[in-house]
Structure 1
């Protein structure tokens, strides 16, 4: 009995103790789930105890609470658009979790005007360039990073000089006289790629630099290119040329990280011109002199030999280096990104250089559950030492490219006494190319402060108020001096100097309210409204003295200048007030609607047209969400979209609608001079924005779990009320005036195809983009032009048809259109067959705009190695190349093509003889400027933490830029930069992560 009693008691005790033991194992775990990219709380995220059905979801503030059965178990966290995570509990009671966004392109968060959207919900045409795609690129400015990476964006090189400007056209040029550059929005502050540099001397000595060179490319997180009206209309009167949104890096990660990124490279000229050597040019000049019955200047050309290669004298291997240190943290309520950068690029032309010093602080502070403060601030100082490039005028100051041609290879660099040679046979306006470039002093220093501060307040769930203040402060100082002893213009004027100062203050205020709501599970609504205001003040002064007593002091002794001094100053101001509104609506994750409206009031336009109104609408339909697509497993996403809207262009100078007066005139009364004033421009109170109406039809397709991705668009842009400078009759007393007249159309298509071709141990990712744009002038209105024709694109080359040369006197006698010609002279076609050769025989012989552009980027990976190959090209563009092919009156060098020129001993040649004088712009000078370039090849190795403890993720790389060009063009570069050639760069870089 006792035994049975004790056994029963023991069983009861065990039965009592088991629940207590199980209860002891249970533990409550709480925490907050946020997004890695922006720190936003993630409501509705799923939290599951692995191996059980025990689960919960986060609340509207991203907080969760779960009672787990195993305190050493694992939590599984999932959220749409983010990577699923497994986190060990390890007995903890509080676990905060940071979620990383999915790499799928459809889940990508895209920055749009005044907000963000997921890629899958976008209804407009937007191209994205991530920081990974532009990592470790030795670019001076952001526009170099865009070239070839976004469909429909044509980027061409104006100059290869350090800090040289690039031209950007999104879906063609939307204007003829107003600006065609897109609007840049850098951390919410709208800016234009307008250098705001002080002008150079009155002799055209200065070429503006690239305003975007002040922005450190290493700070960029992402670039979004907004192309259609649905995406750009929210920027209203500034959206017709497209919008490029640049977002810089912000604090991320759960601990402070320190990164160092640096590279060092060497640049060399990418392509040397194939010009005559000393002996060849001496023989040419002998022929040239004989054609004018002059004695031969070189009795023994063979004695000259190769002579001087002026390209070798003016170009050099040049160093380029970049060093950046950044600190970043995304932990807690204060997140920050801080960077300091030093960039130094020597130009491949002697005596040219650019340095940039920049510092950035980006911060995000959570002041309370309802209030958030953000700020972005960068300061940069750029110092350019430049040489004359395009823009040098009247031959008094020659660009680098002109010096190459203008100087004969028969001339040595130095005289016997060691001084520079500065004169040669039949030379006009001669100077030593080397001495002039080495002694010209041209220094441009610029300071730029760009940033914003914003305060966000969420009084209730789903409602956010945001107020932002942005600033863009620029200060520029330009100093130039052209010595008497070594430059032609300096010798002519006894030394020429210039000091220019310019200060620009741009202030922005934006106030927006955003409401988001999901209701009845299938309806998602976002409402945006706001008011913005922006004002700019631009003040500049210039002083241009001449007649200096001593070259050594230059502009540091203006008071001693005895020549005439030109003094100028100007003040320009403009302001804009705007109201914005947008609706984003999504039903059942497949029907999409975006509608926006902006009203802009600008001081730049006439009293009757201060305000302009710019609406847009876009629709999207995601077929992949339809039930009938469920069995089509290989389709990950399929969306059709269409948009229509109006955008504008206000890029003209201030006060263009007002009459202007000059006081630089004098009148004679009673034989005495009196100062007087007169009107120089008519008032036009009706002046208003150009307006561009654009529609776009597009498709977004992702296949095989988004491993293959396709985006295609077809668009049409019609610009009307062009801001056009119209010539006025002389009796009006004015030469021209600005009116709204004429029209321009652009239409075309774009395709972007990307794919993860191989995954696993060996990876291969490729992206290719292709775009074709067809522009045409639809109307000239009241304007007249000698180069613009209705039905033709802008950028035409007008000229004669070249039919070779007159090989003999018989061919001359057989025609009557050309008179006073000799055998070996150029023959031009009598197009209209009237027996005369005149302007009526000219044709539109070519166009400077490419017919299509393309880019191809391929990334191969194996273990820790990565190889990137990036190609870019353009086709269908023409260039007119006069220098080196024709026969100017000076002794400039020539292309080796002229070695096969017509002569009595070579009568069958179709290249004109030396000394021919009937030079006309014709198809003889027209060249095909199509090209394919290897823009970048980069091999990198990333260290793992197991191999190098504490440095996991660090990498080293070798990179080559602008390595090879396939083209028939005989100039320096078909992409531009003829007056300052482009360079090939080889470099080594390292990226250290601590």
Structure 2
């Protein structure tokens, strides 16, 4: 709803949405209201205000059934006529968890408000002050039922003997104050715009959690009714942080041909201390529109527009845990005189020298237009050096303390970015027309310095391993090289180096890279890239008469995914066997199998290696929409000015080697533990009155 006059204008928007999940007992509900007002008090004074309130709630079962879906047996009876459930040999049944395990409810109250004042101090001088408030009140309540189920056919029993309740209050508020003084001047071909500003952000967070067990029954779900014994647990914290910034910018434009911009920021963060608290971050850019020069006239019809530009800048990053410059104390109990006494112990060292992570970026680019501006493209080369990277470096375990963040690394990113757009305009009303747009990014990533430390390796033999080492891309996949499977006892004896004792035919042959006759961490090497080298997208829009078609493709290349969880364990856990392993594992009569022999509860063949790395490149049809605009003569004499019907689909198909593993190439994890992207089909109507 909108209305008003030259002095006061208002707009009110209300939204409500309720949606059931694709799995029973999942659902979400949202209500949202927003009010905007604009009041022109005088020719030199203007007020703008907005307020937005949103309430949302979501529900799901107390225990996550997704893993049971993935690992459940195909032979289990979902539910018997007496209300009990069938069970796998491991006691699993996803329907049982959905209907019997309890509930998780999340409620959010969100309020934001902004008040802005514009004061025209002089003809070319404008002062703007804006104050904003944002409040989040989040409550999460998870109750896990106590229950028991017996499969009446097999006698298998699954029992959850103890019920429990966990409640979380996570509240935050943020206050933002921005002030800008803007000056503009135009004298002939000279255009100057300058601004100076001040900004301040203050954030406060309050977190509280309470946990209790052994409620009288599953219907009593108040935290005070749980057992007052050693199983109860309460925790919480109050934190606050702030950011203060002084900044300025000057733009100069001479007749649209010569462009110059200079920026400077002086930022102070409460996450750092002392003389490391503030950082100065300057930047500058320049552009030259050659196609506006007189000497361009002979080729203007062929190359309609041509612009070169360059930029340099430094930005800062403060993403580090709060209070890292303090030595942290945590509550801990200890025995004193035969009694448990509450005390405190040192948890982490302080780092008073912790400071801003900075990124220096250089960019050279050009923009061009051909064929009467029907074909346009941009090309950029960039070099980005991130210095003083905030890392949690290892410290000797004998200290018994957590490491504190340090400024201890330099990473280089350099590459190219390219985009092109072509449009064919209609030769007559209703004639065929289209527009195509494509973009491509090529990035090279490399750790160039670790300040004399490292390398740093995270993960374990059975989890994805990543390494941060000089000369390699950051978070490179790290593991063993392999050379197929052992086929005979004689081959094992001749090879000598084995990963596990009692190696047998059908086991993985790990390569002894250093030739010392032992397979251990010293034989590991880089086995994959965590980040794509190439990312790209293609968008197309087509019209013919009253029909229209829009397509969006996106993808990435030269990126790897390390399988983990059940996908890496290759069938050695009961109920965790992916269909890809079926009839494709090594046996004495199937020696050319893709996967090693199956050994129950033995992980010797699933150590991090190149066998578990899959090409993560993909091409996805992200969206397609077909529409038809009904001719006005077919509508007749009505209040309708335009009527368009359309059919759209999202996540229609994906080409990727990860498809056979049922993995989404856009998901970070190499295991199927995330809520999958859904294919969405929409039939809609656009109506203009």
Deviations 1:161-200 (A, max 9, x none): xxxxxxxxxxxxxxxxxxxxxxxxxxxxxxxxxxxxxxxx
Deviations 1:197-230 (A, max 9, x none): xxxxxxxxxxxxxxxxxxxxxxxxxxxxxxxxxx
The verdict on how the C-alpha distance between 1:660 and 1:988 changes in structure 2, with shifts beyond 3 A counting, is same
- RMSD value, Cα: 2.4
Among candidates 765, 788, 801, match of residue 435 of structure 2: 765
Please identify which structure carries the higher strand content: 2
**Superposed displacement of residue 585, structure 1:** 0.4
Deviations 1:870-929 (A, max 9, x none): 111111221122424523343423323441222222233242122274222222221111
| Aligned equivalents of 1:558, 1:531: Cα separation in 2 | 48
Task: Tell me the matched-pair count.
Answer: 651
Among candidates 261, 267, 277, match of residue 610 of structure 1: 277
Local SS of the residue matching 2:320: coil
TM-score (norm 1): 0.63
Match of 1:806 in 2: 486
The verdict on how the C-alpha distance between 1:486 and 1:955 changes in structure 2, with shifts beyond 3 A counting, is farther
**Superposed displacement of residue 654, structure 1:** 2.0
Local SS of the residue matching 2:436: strand
Match of 1:959 in 2: 648
| Aligned equivalents of 2:532, 2:4: Cα separation in 1 | 45
Match of 2:17 in 1: 343
The verdict on how the C-alpha distance between 1:974 and 1:938 changes in structure 2, with shifts beyond 3 A counting, is same
| Aligned equivalents of 1:899, 1:942: Cα separation in 2 | 53
Counterpart contact for 1:898–1:911, Cα < 8 Å: no
| Aligned equivalents of 1:457, 1:698: Cα separation in 2 | 38
The verdict on how the C-alpha distance between 1:511 and 1:486 changes in structure 2, with shifts beyond 3 A counting, is farther
Match of 1:210 in 2: none
The verdict on how the C-alpha distance between 1:873 and 1:829 changes in structure 2, with shifts beyond 3 A counting, is same
1:986 aligns with 2:681: yes
Match of 1:647 in 2: 315
**Superposed displacement of residue 330, structure 1:** 8.3
**Superposed displacement of residue 339, structure 1:** 2.1
Match of 1:843 in 2: 525
The verdict on how the C-alpha distance between 1:374 and 1:593 changes in structure 2, with shifts beyond 3 A counting, is same
1:513 aligns with 2:513: no
| Aligned equivalents of 2:544, 2:208: Cα separation in 1 | 58
Local SS of the residue matching 1:506: strand
| Aligned equivalents of 1:375, 1:464: Cα separation in 2 | 18
Deviations 1:749-774 (A, max 9, x none): 11111121242422201211111222
| Aligned equivalents of 1:797, 1:334: Cα separation in 2 | 60
**Superposed displacement of residue 506, structure 1:** 0.5
Match of 1:855 in 2: 537
Match of 2:460 in 1: none
| Aligned equivalents of 1:551, 1:533: Cα separation in 2 | 48
Among candidates 592, 601, 608, match of residue 908 of structure 1: 592
Local SS of the residue matching 1:899: coil
Among candidates 470, 478, 488, match of residue 140 of structure 2: 478
**Superposed displacement of residue 416, structure 1:** 7.3
The verdict on how the C-alpha distance between 1:725 and 1:510 changes in structure 2, with shifts beyond 3 A counting, is same
Local SS of the residue matching 1:369: coil
Match of 1:384 in 2: 58
Match of 2:39 in 1: 365
1:975 aligns with 2:673: no
1:534 aligns with 2:201: yes
**Superposed displacement of residue 733, structure 1:** 4.6
Please, which runs of 5 or more residues in structure 1 have no aligned partner? 1-326, 389-396
Among candidates 439, 448, 469, match of residue 789 of structure 1: 469
Among candidates 402, 406, 423, match of residue 71 of structure 2: 406
Local SS of the residue matching 2:272: coil
Q: Show the 5 A alignment for 1:697-846.
A: 697-760=364-427, 761-781=431-451, 782=453, 784-786=455-457, 787-818=467-498, 819-846=501-528
**Superposed displacement of residue 783, structure 1:** 5.2
The verdict on how the C-alpha distance between 1:732 and 1:900 changes in structure 2, with shifts beyond 3 A counting, is closer
| Aligned equivalents of 2:643, 2:51: Cα separation in 1 | 27
| Aligned equivalents of 2:9, 2:303: Cα separation in 1 | 39
Deviations 1:294-344 (A, max 9, x none): xxxxxxxxxxxxxxxxxxxxxxxxxxxxxxxxx345863434443222233
Match of 1:192 in 2: none
| Aligned equivalents of 1:704, 1:363: Cα separation in 2 | 45
| Aligned equivalents of 1:731, 1:988: Cα separation in 2 | 63
Local SS of the residue matching 1:356: strand
Q: Show the 5 A alignment for 1:531-570.
A: 531-553=198-220, 555-556=221-222, 558-561=224-227, 564-570=231-237
Deviations 1:410-462 (A, max 9, x none): 433235754112451xx3xx432221133441111112223422111113211
Among candidates 27, 39, 47, match of residue 353 of structure 1: 27
Deviations 1:739-795 (A, max 9, x none): 111111211211111121242422201211111222121222345511211111123
Local SS of the residue matching 1:810: helix
**Superposed displacement of residue 625, structure 1:** 0.8
Q: Show the 5 A alignment for 1:141-160.
A: none
1:601 aligns with 2:268: yes
| Aligned equivalents of 1:558, 1:423: Cα separation in 2 | 36
Match of 2:464 in 1: none
**Superposed displacement of residue 399, structure 1:** 6.5
Local SS of the residue matching 2:130: strand
**Superposed displacement of residue 831, structure 1:** 2.2
**Superposed displacement of residue 672, structure 1:** 4.4
**Superposed displacement of residue 950, structure 1:** 2.5
| Aligned equivalents of 2:291, 2:49: Cα separation in 1 | 40
| Aligned equivalents of 1:420, 1:583: Cα separation in 2 | 71
The verdict on how the C-alpha distance between 1:679 and 1:834 changes in structure 2, with shifts beyond 3 A counting, is closer
Counterpart contact for 1:435–1:486, Cα < 8 Å: no
Counterpart contact for 2:212–2:226, Cα < 8 Å: no
The verdict on how the C-alpha distance between 1:407 and 1:558 changes in structure 2, with shifts beyond 3 A counting, is farther
Among candidates 918, 924, 934, match of residue 611 of structure 2: 924
Local SS of the residue matching 1:630: helix
1:629 aligns with 2:284: no
**Superposed displacement of residue 731, structure 1:** 4.3
Local SS of the residue matching 1:860: strand
Deviates more, 1:929-938 or 1:677-686: 677-686
**Superposed displacement of residue 387, structure 1:** 5.7
Query: Which structure is larger by alpha-carbon Rg, 1 or 2?
Result: 1
Match of 1:228 in 2: none
The verdict on how the C-alpha distance between 1:991 and 1:451 changes in structure 2, with shifts beyond 3 A counting, is farther
Please, which runs of 5 or more residues in structure 2 have no aligned partner? 151-157, 458-466
| Aligned equivalents of 2:279, 2:253: Cα separation in 1 | 29
Deviates more, 1:942-951 or 1:785-794: 942-951
Match of 1:320 in 2: none
The verdict on how the C-alpha distance between 1:420 and 1:741 changes in structure 2, with shifts beyond 3 A counting, is same
| Aligned equivalents of 1:800, 1:909: Cα separation in 2 | 20
Counterpart contact for 1:724–1:783, Cα < 8 Å: no
